[in-house]
Amino acid sequence: MSSAPACAEAAAIGSEADLFPIRVRGLKNAFGDHVVHENLDLDVRKGEIIGVVGGSGTGKSVLMRSIIGLQIPEEGTIEVLGSEITDARDDDDIDIRCRWGILFQGGALFSTLTVAENVEVPLREFYPEITDELRHEIARYKVLLSGLPAEATGKYPSELSGGMKKRAGLARALALDPELLFLDEPTAGLDPIGAAAFDQLIRSLQQTLGLTVFLITHDLDTLYEICDRVAVIADKRVIAVGTIPELIATGHPWITSYFTGPRGRAASAASERNAALGTVADGA
């Protein structure tokens, strides 16, 4: 383990990179002739939960893959936590990958490792000096923090349900106490109760750990309940960013039909009801 990657330092407090952990400028992504993004700009503020929405096939996941360096864009620059992702190489000495956590849609757990061992993978990779004992302890409390029962730590991913896999994936994403958390459709495929509980879990973790969360979702309830701002992708770029009332005020036809359609109205009403009952604030 002599080649353990060194972890990048946090940006100075108050600097540009500190205020905006993610800055995307003039992004262009294309697969052959099919252009997915063109001239896409996006700033994510520190400490917010930003939801990214858009119709199917508008490139929400491609945007996330570009930001985390899995997709090399044709043009444009992406700055994450002060380093330019578009220049980053796998063999870079300084690595910002220890400062973010990513939850993939299906969990993407390593199928030959138990849940706790999955959580230990990033710890082993970046901090080989941590003793086995402490690493096991860290893995266990992360699993419990993610809302899994204690007996789940020694289970293999194939023994878990879909919702438990997502929680285990979240535990792995949080393994290094990241500043940035990327979530790809965290509530897709969960039952409404499970989805609401997952929303509240993300909210409370975000508040406790001071995370910045980049969240791709189709779930209107998630958008209303936990997102501080929402970015809308359409026409190959981000057409608007703001709170939901601000977005509706823009009058863009797609945004209007998205938020004021039957499902949008229902989610909005539910959110107002919850707010009136005070269930959002204390997460009960």
- CB burial string 169-179: b at 16+ within 10 A, e below: bbbbbbbbebb
DSSP secondary structure letters along 38-83 = EEEEEEE-TT-EEEEEE-TTSSHHHHHHHHTTSS--SEEEEEETTE
Nearer to another protein, 56 or 111 (CB): 111
Give dist(CA 212, CA 175) in Å, integer.
15
Q: Is 161 in the site for another protein (CB under 8 A)?
A: no
Site size toward another protein, by CB under 8 A:
41
Nearer to another protein, 91 or 133 (CB): 133
Question: Counting Cβ atoms within 10 Å, is residue 210 exposed (0-12), middle (13-18) or buried (19+)?
Answer: exposed
Q: Which of 140, 229 has the CB closer to another protein? A: 140
Which of these ranges, 3-11, 24-32, 39-47, 246-254, lies near another protein under the rule CB under 8 A? Answer: 3-11
Residue 159 C-beta: closest distance to another protein, Å? 9
Q: Which of 152, 176, 175, 174 is nearest to 164 (CA)?
A: 152
Per-residue mark of binding to another protein, 7-46 (x: CB under 8 A): x-xx------------------------------------
Site for another protein in 68-107 (CB under 8 A): 98
Task: Considering only the stretches 84-92, 111-119, 192-200, 275-283, report the one whose residues sit in contact with another protein under the rule CB under 8 A.
Answer: 111-119
Q: Which amino acid is at 108?
A: A
**Is there a contact between 96 and 72 (Cβ–Cβ < 8 Å)?**
no
Nearer to another protein, 54 or 122 (CB): 122
What residues from 112 to 141 belong to the interface with another protein (CB under 8 A)? 112, 114, 116-117, 120, 123, 126-127, 129-131, 133-134, 136-141
Q: How far apart are alpha carbons 201 and 145 in whole angstroms?
A: 9
* Residues 198, 191: Cα–Cα separation, whole Å: 10
The distance of Cα 260 from the centroid of its chain, to the nearest Å, equals 25
Among 153, 200, 212, 271, binds another protein (CB under 8 A): 153
**Shortest Cβ distance from residue 250 to another protein (Å)?**
37
Return the H-helix or E-strand segment holding 175.
Answer: none
For binding to another protein (CB under 8 A), which residues are involved?
A: 7, 9-10, 98, 111-112, 114, 116-117, 120, 123, 126-127, 129-131, 133-134, 136-142, 144-145, 150-158, 176-177, 208-210
